[in-house]
């Protein structure tokens, strides 16, 4: 199995006979307005352009949309991706939004399903603390997903979540070989981050000692101050650099 870090949370998982596109944000640099940001950064999003050819991204066998925030499902993805490709969404609201954009095979990932030979299992997450979700109800729900395929590694994509007891249970129950974490530590307000950051990489590495930890969702959005170097420094400080992978955009990881 190989995994290509595209940009932000966008990734391509390639198995022998199946290609899975995760959370496509395909627009050009600066094509979207800035997100609310506690640090005051008003740069337009994405901060960087694609380095992976669109031709490599527009023929997946299945698409996973963990939620429909614009950095995970943007207007370019909605315009460019093939209408017939199976899409897995987290709930009826997101599925209806995607279907209204002309997609004909949108499925709600309620528990476990198999598409294109890959088994997908829904995993829970929380897009910020209870206080943040109470004050910013528009943030809405998110999901993670576990992927299994033949004799390939088990991959747990945590999604846009902070560290919670549910995530800890997922790590214990799934025992993944690879964990993908969104670690940009997005801060839309002064109430704190709505996704993980470098310190969470360290905790996950301790909770899943059998796994490689891949840090994603970095250096692409105005409200995500954590950097690749921050993650690498945290890993180095805890002597886990051999297990923490921090790919550059366009980098291919093989497992």
Q: Domain map of the chain by residue range?
A: 2-254
Q: What is the pLDDT of residues 53-108, one digit of tens each?
A: 999 999 999 999 999 999 999 999 999 999 999 999 999 999 999 999 999 999 99
**What per-residue confidence (pLDDT) applies to 139?**
86
Nearest-angstrom CA–CA distance, 152 and 177:
9
What does DSSP say about strands 2-7 and 10-14: parallel, antiparallel, or unpaired? antiparallel
Residue 138 has pLDDT above 90, yes or no: no
Homologous superfamily of domain range 2-254: Ribonuclease Z/Hydroxyacylglutathione hydrolase-like (3.60.15.10)
**What per-residue confidence (pLDDT) applies to 75?**
98
With cut-offs at 50, 70 and 90, classify the pLDDT of residue 136: confident
**What per-residue confidence (pLDDT) applies to 137?**
85
Residue 237 has pLDDT above 90, yes or no: yes
pTM of the model: 0.97
Interval 16-42 mean pLDDT: 96
Cα dist. 69→56, 61, 65, 112, 159 in Å?
Answer: 23, 22, 9, 23, 12
């Amino acid at each position: 199995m190989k995994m290509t870090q595209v940009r932000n949370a966008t990734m391509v998982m390639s198995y022998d006979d199946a290609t899975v596109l995760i959370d496509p944000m395909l627009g050009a640099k600066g094509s979207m307005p800035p997100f609310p940001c506690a640090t005051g950064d008003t740069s337009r999003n994405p901060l960087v352009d694609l380095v992976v050819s669109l031709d490599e991204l527009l023929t997946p066998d299945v698409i996973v949309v963990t939620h429909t925030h614009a950095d995970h499902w943007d207007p370019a993805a909605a315009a460019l991706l093939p209408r017939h490709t199976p899409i897995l969404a987290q709930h009826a609201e997101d599925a209806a939004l995607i279907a209204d954009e002309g997609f004909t095979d949108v499925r709600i990932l309620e528990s476990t399903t198999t598409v294109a030979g890959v088994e997908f299992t829904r995993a829970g997450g929380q897009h910020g603390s209870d206080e943040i979700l109470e004050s910013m109800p528009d943030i809405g729900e998110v999901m993670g997903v576990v992927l299994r395929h033949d004799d390939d590694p088990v991959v747990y994509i945590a999604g846009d979540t902070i560290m919670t007891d549910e995530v800890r249970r997922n790590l214990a129950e799934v025992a993944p070989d690879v964990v993908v974490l969104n670690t940009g530590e997005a801060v839309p307000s002064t109430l704190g981050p709505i996704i993980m950051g470098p310190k969470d990489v360290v905790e996950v590495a301790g909770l899943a000692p059998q796994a490689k930890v891949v840090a994603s969702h970095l250096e692409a959005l105005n409200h995500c101050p954590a950097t690749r170097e921050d993650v690498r420094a945290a890993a180095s400080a805890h002597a886990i650099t051999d297990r923490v992978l921090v790919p550059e955009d366009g980098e291919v990881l093989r497992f």
